Amino acid sequence: MNLKLRITNVGKFLASAPVFCLIALGAASAQQKEIIFPTTGGAFEQGQRAAWFEPFTKATGIKVTTVTATDAEQRTRAQAMVQSGNVTWDTIANVDIVAESEQNRAITVDMTEFCKQFKDRKDLNPKACTAAGVMTSLNGTLLVYNGDKFKGKKPETWADFWNVNDFPGPRALPNLGDPWRVLAAALIADGVPSDKLFPLDLERALKKLDQIKPHVQLWWKTGDQSQQGFRNGDYVIGMIWGTRATALRKENQPVEMSWDGAFMLADMLQLLKGAPHPQETMELMKFYLDNPEVQARFTEKFSITPPSQDAIARMDEAAKKNIPTNPEIFKKLVTADAAWINANREKMLTHWNEWLQK
């Protein structure tokens, strides 16, 4: 069969194809669209997938493909991708202080124009959509402990965390390349009032950390690692994310939480410059902000605060009692100085890494 005849036959097939065949071809094409979404994995990713990604794919036909990396790896790799012009990820998730930093804004898309469509949404948090990205939740980093190990007096404060005589056992602290929360907790334990923390006294904080360093058995780099460490008994007291503590509770692990001196931050989803699927990624962001029910189902899994007040109203009552914006919890939280943290990020990290290696 010559080439002309082949082309003619294909044309005749398309012209005579039933409508349902053409619809199927269109659906297949739509299904090929995807978003490459880096995540730290584990229970948090599973919650995202069930409450957000799967409903989004069902509604749009756009697949969300996840890749696993620690927070520090995500920042390093994303920066290298953008600088090299070879970007294979679409998004990066950061807490608001990191998302709004000059270094991070250099590799992410300014979302000002995208956010204009939400300017009249009275239900949304003022930071739900900013130039830096889209807020997915307000989350806490807090003190947790194994309730089975402390039957009498409970460790409730950072001073208790440092008190190995009354509260013995191995500890856990994060090592995420963003050490300000650990440094702030050390200063609180050393007697600095939470409203007088900034600027952080790095020398004093590291001297206080010298006291607890021999008792820290787990320096976790991902939320999933902090969960597994609790399950394994690697630590009995630790600083972890509230999302992961809530996930452990749902496994019936004997985890208890204290919000005294906890740190609340907004989790932000950002669009990388040069992302391979920018339009699809913005559809994912819009889908989240436009659907309070999706927000509610996702955030109630981890007792975190969604960006929409309408979503909070849809959360189950047990979850609402444990979100960081609950008035009884909110009054215990530490207010961070984002400007100081971003201006001193490299200095803190240098001191931190040198101290870890001692």
Query: So what's the pLDDT on residue 213?
Result: 98
Q: What is the DSSP letter of 196?
A: G
- Averaged over 154-177, what is the pLDDT? 97
Rounded CA-CA distance 184/192 in Å is 9
Whether residue 321 has pLDDT greater than 60: yes
Query: So what's the pLDDT on residue 42?
Result: 85
Query: So what's the pLDDT on residue 32?
Result: 64
Q: What is the pLDDT of residues 341-356, one digit of tens each?
A: 999 999 999 999 999 9
- Averaged over 53-82, what is the pLDDT? 95
- Averaged over 120-138, what is the pLDDT? 97
CB atoms under 10 Å from CB of 269, counted, come to 21
Rounded CA-CA distance 172/238 in Å is 4
Q: What is the pLDDT of residues 28-65, one digit of tens each?
A: 444 469 999 999 888 899 999 999 999 999 999 999 99
Tell me which residue of 218, 250, 246 sits closest to 232, measured CA to CA. 218
**Domains, the chain, ordered by start:** 16-136+266-323 (3.40.190.10), 139-265+332-356 (3.40.190.10)
Percentage of the residues of the chain whose pLDDT score is greater than 90: 87
Query: So what's the pLDDT on residue 70?
Result: 87
Of the two residues 338 and 24, the one the predictor is more confident about is 338
Percentage of the residues of the chain whose pLDDT score is greater than 70: 91
- Averaged over 314-332, what is the pLDDT? 94
Whether residue 17 has pLDDT greater than 50: no
CA 218-220-224 angle, to 5 degrees, is 120
Confidence of residue 271 (pLDDT cuts 50, 70, 90): very high
pTM of model > 0.95? no
CA 174-175-178 angle, to 5 degrees, is 100
Rounded CA-CA distance 290/117 in Å is 10
CA atoms within 13 A on the CB side of 321: 3
- Averaged over 20-30, what is the pLDDT? 41
Rg (CA), the chain: 23
- Residue keyed to tokens 């794919």: 57
